[in-house]
Structure formats: structure tokens, C-alpha cells
Structure 1
Amino acid sequence: MGKGGQNGEGCSSGCVKSDPHYSWEEIQKHNTRTDKWLVIDRKVYNISDWVKRHPGGLRVISHFAGEDASEAFHAFHPDLNFVRKFLKPLYVGELAENEPSQDRGKSMEQVEDFQKLRKTAEDMGLFNSSVVFFSLYLLHILILEALAWATLYYLGTGWIPTIMIILLLAISQAQAGWLQHDFGHLSVFKKSKWNHIGHKFIIGHLKGASANWWNHRHFQHHAKPNIFSKDPDVNMVHIFVLGDTQPVEYGTKKLKYLPYNYQHRYFFLIGPPLLIPVYFTVQIMKTMITRKDWVDLAWSLSYYTRFFFTFVPYFGFFGSIALLTAVRFIESHWFVWVTQMNHIPMEIDHEKYRNWLGSQLAATCNIEQSFFNDWFSGHPQLSD
């Protein structure tokens, strides 16, 4: 079924035109680089030109081209009344009446059950954040940094004080990484504006990274978790092969950038040790400069200015770089083991067009809950 016409063909000039109606077959054709349609609550939108202006980045919204994006739309936008006004100019029609609300045979029963579960959780206040909790969380990060500085000031630069400083700063950096994650998810304050400010302060001033870079990657991860070419967290740039499908594809195509049959061994040498100190650091700086993201760059430089101003008088310039590298080295191990233990063991494959709940469950596994595990892994149940 293509576009609909007027209500009642052959009627007089007093007829009222109906909105065009489209079939899923027609909508799924609009899934190219320059032609993108999607469906939200049975309304069809043409986002082809608007994707470049999408605040969350063009890639995350483009991943739903030709699909029903209703659940993702509701999950990513806490203030629906605000964002709906941006949809009006993009509206092109409705789903045909005989078309299901879900594309590609997705289970409508599962979608409805999940909506009821979400509504129950909202009514129970499970999505309400505790400002006291997050304030204490931030406070303990600042205390760790203060203890590192006090150790340096009172105990000097001997081996034992230096090791203590490295450990205190590594713990502080890792915990700041978990906290910025909650602000990035807009999970702390009711107003998005304050979440964005808190996010830039924590990831920029406390960690030297970029909020926009993180959002660009992480929103894609949650939109299409563990999907090749859509989730950047499983884009290993030919260093590792993941899941059950990719090793077979690489073998069939005879792609062998590295000896993948030994990746379980070289993972420990180039995975956890290098991700944050090398790959992320280079990528973040390159992204901010090439995209002319001067605001995030200023936040990031404020961290490095503060760090070197504090430690260069004691360790010298190159000694401070070595100190920072050691901190990042430990933080990187911590980050990799926490983030990968609940994603990489799960299914990693090409797009299977699951509904929202199914895609999230297929890519996430739980860890045993305890006070230490919650702290060590950043209380993921509070924001994911």
C-alpha cells in the first residue's frame, strides 16, 4: 500500500484530504544514506535532511531508518512534550490501518508487556534519583583526589607515596567515569540542562574527556547494543573478532590482520592496558579538534591544566606524564573488565531487528549484587 488519496474519491470540492498512509514495505525502502524514514507511534517521519541537526548525533537516529523507533524514542527522551515539536516538520503520513505497529514481525505482545512493566516501575518511583546519593558519590571522588594531593604534599615523591598517589587517582578516575555515565544518561536531575552541565564538569574537568564524544558513542551502544556497524563498542578495528558470526566471516574472506587464534592471549597485552591511555585519549582529542568542539576542549584542557599545575612542581613535566599514564593504565584495566564482562559474553551479531526489550536483554548479563560490586561497577542498575 502506498500513499493514500482523499477520503471518498469523486466527491466535491468540500472533501477533506487525509494524510498519506504507508506500508512497512514502502517505509523500509527509505533506508539509505540520503533517504531515511522512521516510524514513531504509527506516524511516519522523513529524517533525511534533519539527521545532521539531531542533538544526539546523526548515527544513533539513522540506525532506526526503515524501522519502528517508538520504544527508542521514549527511552532516549525524558521530556517528550519538548521533543515532539521537532517532529512536526518531519511528518509525512501514517502507517496504513492494516499494518501492524511493529515492523518485521516483532512481538507486539512483548512490547505491550514491557510498556506495562515500565509504567509500573514509574508509578513505584523506581526512576526517581536521589540527589543526596549522587552528591555523596561526587564528594567521595573529590575526597580521593584531595587525599592524593595531601599524600604528595606531606609525604613527598618517594616510591611508596607515589604508588599511593597513583592508586588514589586511579580509583577517583574510575569512579568519576561511572558517575559521568549517570549524568550522560540524564539520570540525576529532572531538568536535562543540569544533567548536561554536570556531565561536562565531571567528564571534562574531572577526567579530561569529552561529553559530546561520549554521548555520540554511548547512545549508539544503547540504541543497537552489540550490533556490528551500529554499536561502536564492538568495533574492534580488526584487532579482535567477536561473537560467533564474525570469526566465520573473517575466515571465509581470509581476513587476518592479526593471529586471531591467539587473541585470548594478546588481549591482555593490548586490550585493557591501552584502551584508555592510548586509543580513547587519541580519539577524544582528534574528535574535539576535527569537529571544532571548543566547549568540550576547554573543559578537557581545564583538567590537564589542573593536573600538571599540581604535579609538575614535584615530579617535573615528564614525571607528571608518567604519573598520568600509570593512572590511566590502572583505570583502563578497571574499565575494560567491568564494561566487557556484561556485554562481550553475550550475543554479538549483525542487525536482527529485535524490539527494544529483546535487543537490550540479548546484549546484557547481570553480576552478583553486593555493596562492593555495586561500587566497583558504578551502580549500573541506577542508570541502565
Structure 2
Amino acid sequence: GKQGRGRGGARSAHAHFSLGRKSSGNNLRTDKWLVVDRKVYNVIAWSKRSPEGRQGPASQVSSLQDAFRAFHPDLEFVRKFLKPLLIGELAPEEPSLDHGKSSDITEDFRALKKAAEDMNLFQTNHLFFLLLLAHIVAMESIAWFIVFYFGNGWVPTLLTACVLATSQAQAGWLQHDYGHLSVYKKSKWNHLVHKFIIGHLKGASANWWNHRHFQHHAKPNIFHKDPDIKMLHVFVLGEWQPLEYGKKKLKYLPYNHQHEYFFLIGPPLLIPMYFQYQIIMTMVRRKDWVDLAWAISYYVRFFSTYVPFYGVLGTLLFLNFIRFLESHWFVWVTQMNHIVMEINLDHYRDWFSSQLAATCNVEQSFFNDWFSGHLNFQIEHHLFPTMPRHNLHKIAPLVKSLCAKHGIPYQEKPLLQALLDIIRSLKKSGQLWLDAYLHK
């Protein structure tokens, strides 16, 4: 393919690139190019700063048009930031898809998204989100009233903790909506409200969440790319990892019992220990003073509210008990859609196929919608992350039809089965590890 040079050795914005082949002298091992709408962008500076960008082979090229469109509701605004990185465009004879991705599935998915736009499914019902925020604030008020009126005995304290844990879980689902830019048309308003909810209502960091969560969305259930399956040798997941650990005789823990010790170190400890420590250290290490200020405002409010009833030490224990309860809720809901699905190395599938391989749904009901923050529609949420959650059920039938057309499994199950499948999946992976450890 042809490559042009501008003045000073820089590649010209009018250069043509053939990404499937290398031409000596123009391609460096450190090159990392991004292709969007057939335009080629040099993202090496970004990849050096990104933990994900430092992984994988050098001289990478990615065609991410569908991912780019999925994450950015205002494409024209984002292109202003991409413009300085533009170094050329694909040669006319070059296909816009790489790694053998299915062009038929890709085109059908783009038609599906266009249909969703025509159906106004990306339009927000602002009353819906206002009521969600109102019921969170109401629970915070009810929790204070219980202790104020009934005192700090065991029964009022346990009841208050349950109400506040429910409030925290619902605030977690709500910040997720604003973090995905799915409420307001203007990104800056989504970002501002996101910082308020995750910072002032939960004591966490918006930037920490964004950095972690969008890596998960871009490559769900892909080892070395999805931070949500980085289990620090505590669990082995899927089929590939347990076999690799078993063949290499790696035994950090007795993985054949992981479906049992999951109850001891998974749901109880993720938020009160791992996430809490990681969030604080990330804000301090990155000098993210804005997010830190928002988080401090949460702790000031919480301690000023409950220290009069429990004292400083009692309030600290009370806070961690609330997070202990919330952690169970969070882990079960988030893992029922992912951990039971394919977890493997990157096969470079098209956007639609990769999301379907890593996600499943839980049946719709008013309780399931509320309980999971509409993450029971995990498939649709991963395909259309900026779609307001109250519209996900409307696009689901069209997604099912597209899956049926291309023979792609669309998994939907009852809530209880989805929760039990977490344990079954851990047990299956643990047994695969044991068999490989003993016999391979």
C-alpha cells in the first residue's frame, strides 16, 4: 500500500494506507493506528499512557468504527479531538474490516442501530431518572429518621444499614447511567452529574470508574484487556485459563474449591476492601483532586450524620457494614451476566459477535429491572451503551431477530438460575483446572 510523508517526516493527512501488509521503512514496531470511518489515526501517544495500550504486540492496527460509535453519542464533537491525530486514510482497495470480521453481521448491526435511532430509542425520559434520584434521596432520609426516632439499638441499626445499602446499590446503577452519557445530550452535564452521584452519594471516583469500566465494555471477558476478569490468581475463569494454570502446575489457591470460597472472599470483600482501597489509592496517585474532593464530601456528610448516634469508631464500622451488604448485591448482579459466559483470549470478532459471546440477559420484570438497574438487559446495554436503560427492552426483540438470522446464541434466563449459574461456572472451571493439574 501507499504511504505519504508530509513536511518534517510526518505522514500526510492525504496518505493512503494498506493495513494488511507492512512496507519496510514506514512501519515501526511501535506504530499503533486506529481506523474509524476509513480514516487512520496515530494513537501511539495515547497507547503509552493507557495500561491496556501497553499490552499486546507492537505495530497494532485496529478498526473500531462500531466501538467508536457505541461509546460516543456526539460524533462530531469527538472528531475535533481526533483531528490532530489524523495521518491518512485507507487505500481505496482496502477493506474497512480487519482480522476476518463478518461484514454481513457488521452491516446488519449498523442497520439495527440506525433503526434504533429512527425509533428515538436514544432519547431520554428525564422524569424516569429524576424519580430514580428521588427514591435514593428518600431512602437516605428514611435511614436517618429510623435512627433518630428509634435510637441506635441493634434492630434500628440493622434496618438502617439495609436501607442505606439499598440506597448505595441504586446509586451505583444510577451513576452507571450518567457515566455512559445516556441521560443528557451534552456530555459535560452527564459528567457533572456522574461526579455528584458517584462522588457525593457513594464516595468513589468518576475517573477511576470510567477508566476501568470502558476497558471492560471494549473487550468484555477478554484476558489481559478486561479488568473485571483480572482476579489476581484468586479465581480461574472460563475454560482457557484453568487449563493453562493446570498445565503449568500453578496453584495459588485450591481452585477446585473456588465455588465454595467464593462466598467468603467474593461478595463480602470486593467493595469494602478491594474497591475502596483501589479507589482511594488511584485518586491520590493520579492527583485527581476534583474526584477526591467529591469523595471527601460524601464522608463528611456521612460522618456528620451518624457520629452523633454511634461515635467515630461506631460510624466507621457502620459504614463498612453497609458496604459489606452492598458488595453482595453488586457482585451477584454484575457477575450473573458475564462470568457464566465465554472468557478467553481475544478472537478479534466483530462488535456484535464479541458482545453476544460475553453477555447474557435475565428475564424482565419490574423487580428484576429495579434490582439490577436494568442490567438484566446486559446484551442490549453492551451493544448500545449510550441508550437510556428504560428503552433497552424496546430494542431487545430486534436484537433477538438479528441473532436468529446469523445463528448467534441469545441467552436469557430467570433471575434465580442466573445467580446459581455463577456457582456452576466457578465449579466447572475449577474442575477443569484440577483435571489439567493432575493429568496434563
TM-score (norm: length of structure 1) = 0.91
CA distance in 2, matches of 1:25, 1:339: 41
| Post-superposition offset of 1:86 | 2.0
| Post-superposition offset of 1:3 | 2.3
User: Contact 1:102/1:108 (CA < 8 Å) preserved in 2?
Assistant: yes
- Counterpart of 2:3 in structure 1: which amino acid? K
Aligned residue pairs total: 370
Alignment partner of 1:83 is 2:78: yes
User: Contact 1:38/1:66 (CA < 8 Å) preserved in 2?
Assistant: yes
Alignment partner of 1:143 is 2:171: no
Counterpart selection for 2:190 from 189, 195, 198 = 195
Relative distance call for 1:258 and 1:61 in structure 2 (3 A) is: closer
Relative distance call for 1:31 and 1:267 in structure 2 (3 A) is: farther
User: Contact 1:20/1:92 (CA < 8 Å) preserved in 2?
Assistant: no
Alignment of 1:79-228 (within 5 A): 79-228=74-223
| Post-superposition offset of 1:121 | 0.6
Structure 1 residue aligned with 2:20: 24
Structure 2 residue aligned with 1:3: 3
Alignment of 1:65-84 (within 5 A): 65-84=60-79
| Post-superposition offset of 1:299 | 0.3
- Counterpart of 2:334 in structure 1: which amino acid? T
Alignment partner of 1:47 is 2:43: yes
Relative distance call for 1:30 and 1:65 in structure 2 (3 A) is: farther
- Counterpart of 1:359 in structure 2: which amino acid? S
Relative distance call for 1:75 and 1:61 in structure 2 (3 A) is: farther
Identity of matched residues, %: 63
**Aligned partner of residue 184 in structure 2, secondary structure:** coil
Residue range with higher mean Cα deviation, 248-257 or 173-182: 248-257
User: Contact 1:60/1:223 (CA < 8 Å) preserved in 2?
Assistant: no
Relative distance call for 1:210 and 1:3 in structure 2 (3 A) is: same
| Post-superposition offset of 1:51 | 4.4
1:194-240 superposed Cα distances (whole Å, 9 cap, x missing partner): 10011000000000000000000100010000001100001001100
CA distance in 1, matches of 2:166, 2:54: 35
**Aligned partner of residue 66 in structure 1, secondary structure:** strand
Alignment partner of 1:278 is 2:285: no
CA distance in 2, matches of 1:254, 1:156: 55
What are the ranges of 5 or more consecutive residues in structure 1 without an aligned counterpart? Answer: 6-16
1:270-328 superposed Cα distances (whole Å, 9 cap, x missing partner): 00000000000000000000000000000001101111111111101111111111111
| Post-superposition offset of 1:342 | 0.5
Relative distance call for 1:167 and 1:343 in structure 2 (3 A) is: same
| Post-superposition offset of 1:18 | 5.5
Structure 1 residue aligned with 2:33: 37
CA distance in 2, matches of 1:224, 1:62: 13
Counterpart selection for 2:259 from 258, 261, 264 = 264
CA distance in 1, matches of 2:20, 2:151: 68
User: Contact 1:342/1:366 (CA < 8 Å) preserved in 2?
Assistant: yes
Relative distance call for 1:236 and 1:296 in structure 2 (3 A) is: same
Structure 1 residue aligned with 2:344: 349
User: Contact 2:55/2:224 (CA < 8 Å) preserved in 1?
Assistant: no
**Aligned partner of residue 239 in structure 1, secondary structure:** coil
Alignment of 1:339-378 (within 5 A): 339-378=334-373
- Counterpart of 2:189 in structure 1: which amino acid? W
- Counterpart of 2:105 in structure 1: which amino acid? Q
CA distance in 2, matches of 1:150, 1:179: 23
TM-score (norm: length of structure 2) = 0.80
CA distance in 1, matches of 2:14, 2:135: 59
CA distance in 2, matches of 1:201, 1:26: 48
Counterpart selection for 2:248 from 225, 233, 253 = 253
Residue range with higher mean Cα deviation, 60-69 or 199-208: 60-69
**Aligned partner of residue 45 in structure 1, secondary structure:** strand
User: Contact 2:19/2:61 (CA < 8 Å) preserved in 1?
Assistant: no
| Post-superposition offset of 1:24 | 2.1
Relative distance call for 1:156 and 1:353 in structure 2 (3 A) is: same
1:232-270 superposed Cα distances (whole Å, 9 cap, x missing partner): 001001100000000001111111111111111101100
Structure 1 residue aligned with 2:306: 311
Root mean square deviation, CA, Å = 2.3
